[in-house]
Structure 1
């Protein structure tokens, strides 16, 4: 006869991952991430004539944010609480942290200073580690809230604002 202590971690993961349902908002964010990733890809392809003039720092920024955009749907639409989700989640945190750090080397405007969008980079740098911390402590509600907030603000809203106002990706996309 099995007792409560005979329950394996695999069983706990299966039960736990089934109990976390994907919401409409999460599906919306997942598809928003895919849409933004596609826009970045199309812009980069269309901007091929300028590739040699783009600094390495910007290429690294594009690569790290593209990784986060690609991982987001897998995390939001896939099974949660399982090993794959944890591994992809840590990769997402590293990618977002790198993206935020790299953004401080990207200066725009006539003054060459930081823009208002860099506020989201500061938020990402403080909240990405908290996201991992909440997950590690199994604070599911805090983890979910932090993840959705980061995806909405630091990834999608910040990502959207890289296209208008004559910015490089916007120029390339409309080329």
Structure 2
């Protein structure tokens, strides 16, 4: 009887750990909080949809370390997973309302919003069908791409958080 060869981890999964992503999400949340606090003088000029977006992304960033570092599969993991998934979907939807640049049109970053709107339900589906490896890989991809990389790019190029943080 032949046995299946073990599936090796890809480079991303070998280099990027749940703990590392969780710590990075916590750092990103702290940097966002500092930027928002430093932007106090501009708060009254910020539209409600930007505030909604910031609040939702802060929720997802705060839950990410909890979800990635604590044990998986528990009831609390599932409940917090639904909250995290909801925050991610609502964050993506709220970003579609933010069109303050590009003359009111959509920009390249909105492609990421559509990707999140497609991927998060897939993550939930994978978790519900107990595809642990697929769920883990998808979560790591969303955290890395949508929270950390996209989050990083909210700071340069005179964007709002960058302006607040570095002004």
1:41 maps to 33
CA distance in structure 2 between the aligned counterparts of 1:39 and 1:118, rounded to whole angstroms: 22
In the alignment, is residue 162 of structure 1 matched against residue 163 of structure 2?
no
In the alignment, is residue 111 of structure 1 matched against residue 103 of structure 2?
yes
Tell me the TM-score normalized by structure 1: 0.84
DSSP 3-state at the match of 2:138? helix
2:88 maps to 96
1:61 maps to 53
In the alignment, is residue 121 of structure 1 matched against residue 113 of structure 2?
yes
DSSP 3-state at the match of 1:162? coil
CA deviation after TM superposition for structure 1 residue 113, in Å: 1.6
DSSP 3-state at the match of 1:93? helix
CA distance in structure 1 between the aligned counterparts of 2:44 and 2:31, rounded to whole angstroms: 20
RMSD (Å) for aligned C-alpha atoms: 1.2
Residue among 72, 87, 94 paired with 2:64: 72
DSSP 3-state at the match of 2:158? coil
Change (3 A) 1:110 1:24: closer
Tell me the TM-score normalized by structure 2: 0.88
Which consecutive unaligned segments of at least 5 residues does structure 1 have? 1-22
DSSP 3-state at the match of 1:115? coil
Name which one, 1 or 2, has greater alpha-carbon Rg.
1
Count the aligned residue pairs: 153
Cα deviation, 1:25-59, whole Å, max 9, x if unaligned, reads 22221111011100110011100001100000000
